[in-house]
Chains A and B, each alone.
Chain A
Amino acid sequence: MSDNPYQDDRGNHDLTITRPGNEGQLGSHPGTGQPMETSEAFLIGDSMTGGYGKGPDILHECTIAVNRGEIAVIVGPNGAGKSTAMKAVFGMLDLRQGSVRLDGQDITDLSPQDRVAKGMGFVPQNANIFTSMTVEENLEMGAFIRRDDIRPTMEQVYELFPILRDKRRQAAGELSGGQRQQVAVGRALMTHPKVLMLDEPTAGVSPIVMDELFDRIIEVARTGIPILMVEQNARQALAIADKGYVMVQGRNAFTGTGKELLADPEVRKSFLGG
């Protein structure tokens, strides 16, 4: 492993933790006016417009896509609709326009629960573990929809997050913030997802723990599972991102690879603070 995780080219693609699916086939990219390479996107929320219930629209023609084996990161100022965009992809929002497609299949009309069954692993920002249950039980609950043998998957999760193996008999609520997030990600991985979605995984943890968490996320990505992530810490997130989406007021403001965005003077000036 290279010393700097952000420079890693993640050559180690171990796809066994994911559910192998059909290759996605997408048509031309939608007319958002934003040039985007989405033809081979594995998961795409395509020109989504909508809000909560009958409320006003929060998202406007917003497009978020993740490619196979990549990390896509949504960043933006507070209230820009980052988490809302992710929730829209996960079906927790009423879309008035646009569609969501996973692995070439249109899932716009599915409920979040059905999307989980289709292979979307979602880690909410808050309350993302069962605090009164042990770590191992948390992982078991993650695999609740599966009827096959879950032990190999659990073994893989323990390999990704070694600390969880040590604490597997402890109540998850007794763990530290960073460990809880690992439990949360582990639980989502137990569903055998085709894609992993993380809503601000580093919110509320100390900088040291945050670095550790990013390392872990890269480790997970290295298994080959596509990751879509919302992040407050834009710099660090973009540094590990294959694709970055800068959102402003519910719209795509800038799109590009993480390196491009970090280098983009406009992004730096208006958003990253110089």
Chain B
Amino acid sequence: MEFLNAIVALSNYVLVPALAYGSQLALGALGVTLIYGILRFSNFAHGDTMAFGTMITILMTWWMQSVGIGLGPLPTALLALPFGIAGCAAMVLLTDRVVYRFYRAQKVKPVILVIVSMGVMFVMNGLVRFVIGPGDQRFADGERFIITALDFRMMTGLKEGLAIKTTQGITLVTAVIVVGVLFWFLTHTRTGKSMRAYSDNEDLALLSGINPERVVLVTWLIVAALATVAGTLYGLDKSFKPFTYFQLLLPIFASAIVGGLGSPLGAIAGGFVIAFSEVTITYAWKKVLVYLMPESLEPSGLVQLMSTDYKFAVSFVILLIVLLFRPTGLFRGKAV
């Protein structure tokens, strides 16, 4: 019984939140890694791209809520998501046309593109703050919980409860679907394969008659979709604030690099590695340990390895360790 309680507490405070957070990071890191593989630069504007797509979704959600369209127990944002993706896609395609294409034609060094993406980051960040404001926005509606802690306790008779938020469930389900579709696309369609070919060997892809502009276009579309989905899920699960999205850049890049930049599979693995490390290291383990240890040994403190504010340090340290001991990441990424 004690042991079961410990497991439930662990799931409630560590496993479930980390799974949800990891899925969000993985989706974000997939976008970063795709841009890196195809356009060959680290896109510093990715966090703000996520914020932009999410903002469109939120605006649509509010409009839908105001006219009474909804999904019942599910959040209305799911219904607004396609509009967010479309808006975000329009935005990134416009950016590509106005900004990036010029540099692509010049064949500039990747680091110049990174600086260019800094400019885009400023513009997008400013735009989002201008439209929706710099403050916190909540847009989640529908049922809050799939199962509440109370229900769980009643059901199982355990002392510990397990609460699963609707947003956590939706995050996981959506992430699985999105990743599944993406991998199917990359391995089973002509366009997807041509993207992988282009990422693998640009010159040979050109020799094979693959049209680079088309590959780039499709990549941006996919990235817009991934960014909007990741951003909306994160916003539903926590809340939407432009600055937070900018700060997500660090764990997202850490995930992509830990997994191996340019490797989609690595991005997913990296997302979960970072999420689980962050949550476990900043979690106060007392609640779990009291069930596992004999009374005399019970910890007096919170048994929290680090305060929550140091979560960046966690991503950072994992990043450094991986870079120092396995520079190409867990799944050999590519070096440009």
Residues of chain A whose beta carbon lies under 8 Å from any beta carbon of chain B: 112-113, 116-117, 122, 124, 127-133, 137, 140-142, 144-145, 187, 191
Contacts and interface: CB of A to CB of B under 8 A. Distances in A.
B155 interface: no
Contact of A113 (B200, B201, B209): B209
B197 A141 contact: yes
Interface in B169-215: 190, 193-194, 196-197, 199-201, 203-210
A145 B207 CA distance: 10
10 contacts: A116-B208, A129-B204, A130-B205, A132-B196, A133-B193, A137-B196, A137-B197, A141-B193, A144-B210, A145-B209
Given A141-B204, A191-B208, 16 more contacts: A117-B209, A124-B207, A127-B201, A127-B204, A128-B204, A130-B200, A130-B204, A132-B200, A133-B197, A137-B193, A137-B197, A141-B193, A141-B194, A144-B190, A144-B209, A191-B209
Nearest to A173: B200
A112 B193 contact: no
B214 to A, nearest CB: 11
Nearest to A172: B200
Interface residues of B, number: 16
Contact of B207 (A113, A131, A133, A137): A113
A113 B206 contact: yes
Contacts of B190: 140, 144
A233 to B, nearest CB: 24
Nearest to B212: A113
Name the residue among A127, A129, A141 with the largest chain B CB count within 10 angstroms.
Answer: A141
> Chain B interface mostly helix, strand, loop or mixed?
helix
A124 B204 contact: yes
Interface of B: 190, 193-194, 196-197, 199-201, 203-210
A187 B208 contact: yes
B200 A116 contact: no
Contacts of B206: 112-113
Given A133-B196, A137-B193, A142 B208 contact: yes
Nearest to B209: A145
A131 B200 contact: yes
B331 to A, nearest CB: 11
B200 A133 contact: yes
B210 A141 contact: yes
A248 to B, nearest CB: 29
Contact of B208 (A127, A131, A145): A145
Contacts of B208: 116, 141-142, 144-145, 187, 191
B260 to A, nearest CB: 11
Given A137-B193, A141-B193, A144-B194, A129 B209 contact: no
A197 to B, nearest CB: 11
B155 to A, nearest CB: 47
A145 B214 CA distance: 14
B209 A116 contact: yes
B236 to A, nearest CB: 35
Contacts of B193: 133, 137, 140-141
